[in-house]
Amino acid sequence: MRKNSNKNRRINGEVQKVISEAIRYSKDPRISPFTSVMDVEVAPDLKTCKVWVTVMGDEEDRVRTLEGLKSAAGYIRSTLAKELNMRYTPEIRFIMDDSIEYAINMSKKIDEITAKDNEARAARGESIEEDEESLQQ
C-alpha cells in the first residue's frame, strides 16, 4: 500500500476518530480535557502510527498530557484493535503539535504590528482610508 493512497487516507481517518474517542474516555487524570488529535499517519505496513496531538494550556499541561498519553498508549491501542478490523494493530507514538499555538502567536504579532503602524500613521496625520484608496488604484 502506498503512503498517499485512498486506502491509506481512509485508514488514517478511521484511526484518528477511534483514537480521539479513546482519549476522550481515558481515565488518566494527566490527560488534559483540551486535547485534540490533529493528524494521524499510519505506516503503509500498518505496524506503526504517528499521532499528532495539541493541548490548549501552558507547557506544564502539555508535558503532563504527553506523559499520560504515553502511559495510556496500551489502552488506546487495545481500543483501536476492538473498534477496527485491521490485519495489524499499529504501535502508537504521540507527538506534540504546536502549530495552533504558533498560529495564535503569529496572529498576535501581526495585530501588534498593525496597531503600531496605525499609531505611527495617526502621529504623522495620515488616515488609514487614504492608504486603502491609494492601494485600490
Instruction: Return the domain boundaries, the chain.
Output: 6-97, 99-137
The yes/no answer on whether domain 6-97 falls in CATH 1.10.357.10 is no
| pTM for this predicted structure | 0.73
What's residue 69's pLDDT?
94
Q: How far is CA 9 from each of CA 14, 26, 57, 69, 104, rounded to the nearest angstrom?
A: 9, 25, 30, 23, 28
Over residues 26-35, the mean pLDDT reads 90
What's residue 122's pLDDT?
84
Q: Does residue 99 register a pLDDT over 90?
A: no
What's residue 128's pLDDT?
61
Identify which of 16, 14, 32 has the alpha carbon closest to the alpha carbon of residue 69. Answer: 32
Task: Name the DSSP letter for residue 19.
Answer: H
What's residue 1's pLDDT?
58
Instruction: Report d(CA 105, CA 101) in Å as an integer.
Output: 6
Percent of the chain with pLDDT over 70: 90
Instruction: Report d(CA 124, CA 35) in Å as an integer.
Output: 47
Please report how many Cα atoms fall inside a 13 Å half-sphere around the Cα of residue 36, on the Cβ side: 12
| Look-up of cell digits 502549530 | 99
